[in-house]
Amino acid sequence: MNEVLKVIAERYTCRDYKDQMPRDEMLDAIAQAAIEAPSGMNRQAWRVIIVQDQQLIEDLAAEGMAYMQSLEDKSMYNRIIERGGKLFYGAPCMIVVPIDPKQYGPALIDCGILCQNIVLAATSLGLASTMCGLTGTAFASGKRSQEFAKRLGFPEGYAFGCSVLLGYANSKKLPHVPDKDKIIYIK
Ligand SMILES: Cc1cc2nc3c(=O)[nH]c(=O)nc-3n(C[C@H](O)[C@H](O)[C@H](O)COP(=O)(O)O)c2cc1C
């Protein structure tokens, strides 16, 4: 296996972080890998916002947890409680990727591709990562979405797309077991 294939196979979703912040040069390299992602028609309808402000990360988590707790279906909330009650698992750094909702469908695909570049770059540098869609729960009720969009510096009209948590693993786990039955060859 070459290095790229090894990194793809190694990547896993971390749910237990140390509080140690990754070095600036690592975050710079990851941000560079992010903006090297392809996008449909090269639209690049995204931003890469690297959040190291612990208060902001805590505020997003508090609003997200409050929103999930307020839902009739508490399965998402209970899942986080079962995992220790921390929406972001103690990760010291979060990369938020807002997108232009005017082209929501394709922009969301572009956003996913960019986030995959982030997690693979992070893995290659020895960092742990979590693709974290649940950061979106902080925007879901609408109560604080404008405040968060402002604090995160979203461009006018942009909306949350996805986020990635980054840091060092406190405990490691294996990635999911790939199901080879999902692969179909037609010759
Ligand atoms: C778009 C997307 C959003 C995700 N959001 C979350 C999330 O909010 N919280 C979380 O713990 N994991 C999240 N995950 C991680 C998945 O649960 C994980 O990739 C899956 O269980 C497979 O495990 P693995 O990544 O360790 O192979 C997300 C993954 C993707 C692709």
Atom number in ligand 1 closest to CA 176: 27
CATH of the domain at 156: 3.40.109.10
Separation CA 46–CA 54 (nearest Å): 23
Query: pTM, whole model, 2 decimals?
Result: 0.97
Q: Which domain holds residue 72?
A: 3-7+14-170
Q: Is residue 106 part of a domain?
A: yes
Give 102's DSSP letter.
Answer: G
Q: Is residue 77 part of a domain?
A: yes
How many domains, in total, are found in the chain? 1
137 lines ligand 1 (CB under 6 A): no
Q: Is residue 157 part of a domain?
A: yes
- Residue of 131, 160, 182 to mutate, ligand 1, most atoms within 8 A of C-beta: 131
Model confidence over 126-179: pLDDT tens digits? 999 999 999 999 999 999 999 999 999 999 999 999 999 999 999 999 999 999
Separation CA 60–CA 21 (nearest Å): 18
Q: Is residue 175 part of a domain?
A: no
Model confidence over 32-67: pLDDT tens digits? 999 999 999 999 999 999 999 999 999 999 999 999
Q: Is residue 161 part of a domain?
A: yes
C-alpha pair distances (Å), 130 with each of 42, 90, 133, 139, 169: 26, 11, 9, 19, 11
What is the distance in A from the centroid of ligand 1 to the CA of 161? 14
Reading the block at residue 33, the tokens are 């890998």
What is the distance in A from the centroid of ligand 1 to the CA of 106? 20
Q: Is residue 183 part of a domain?
A: no
Atom number in ligand 1 closest to CA 89: 11
Q: Is residue 102 part of a domain?
A: yes
Q: Is residue 59 part of a domain?
A: yes
